[in-house]
Amino acid sequence: MFKRGKIEMEMFIVLITMVFTSAVILFIVYSGTIEVKEGASSEPVLNAEFLPAGREGVLAIKDFDFCSYVDENLNCLAEQDEFGKAENVYVRFVVESSVTGGQAILLRNYEMRNPSGEIILRAEQKNAYNFELSSTRSTENVVFGEYFVIGEDAVAGEYTLDVIIENPLFEKKITLTKSFEVVDWEEQP
């Protein structure tokens, strides 16, 4: 006889309990009993990126050379891994990247360490894309050429260069570490 409104009554009681609990929590936060972190990240409650379906792709450094010079066509004129203090260190590398939605966007960053392990160069660019193209292919090969100035006050020894490539379209990042020698030509016999 009294079973007609039983489900509706239970739902109404649950709803009132939820509203009352929320009101109590808000009152406690407002009165200062519970402190809320101001710098907390605002992650969406329903993070829909738990399925990696759209985030797959290829990102690889296929070819890397230290060069005496890289010309305007991005050709390495003479490979070498030993440089004098006054010489520029030229690098040339090829990056293979997947094309997502008809686009390929690449970000490149560098870190260079001297023989004692100290970072002497950090070229880091956030949200400044170094390469962007439209393509109908599934992957693209992109050639980069760059040079670095070591300087006369450099210490002779083995230097380490980290090349960091990132494709923000599918959130993939790779790092290639290569070493080269800086020699003091005057000290050589």
H or E segment to which residue 85 belongs = none
Cα(115)–Cα(82) distance, rounded to whole angstroms?
14
pLDDT per position as a tens digit, 150-189: 888 889 999 999 999 988 888 889 999 999 999 986 655 4
For residues 124-162, one letter each, b for 16 or more C-beta atoms within 10 angstroms of the residue's C-beta and e for the rest, the string is eeeeeeebeeeeeeeebebbbbbebebeeebeeeebebb
User: Which structural domains are found in the chain, ordered by start?
Assistant: 59-183 (2.60.40.3880)
pLDDT per position as a tens digit, 137-149: 888 899 999 999 8
Which phi and psi (to 5°) does residue 12 adopt?
Answer: -65, -40
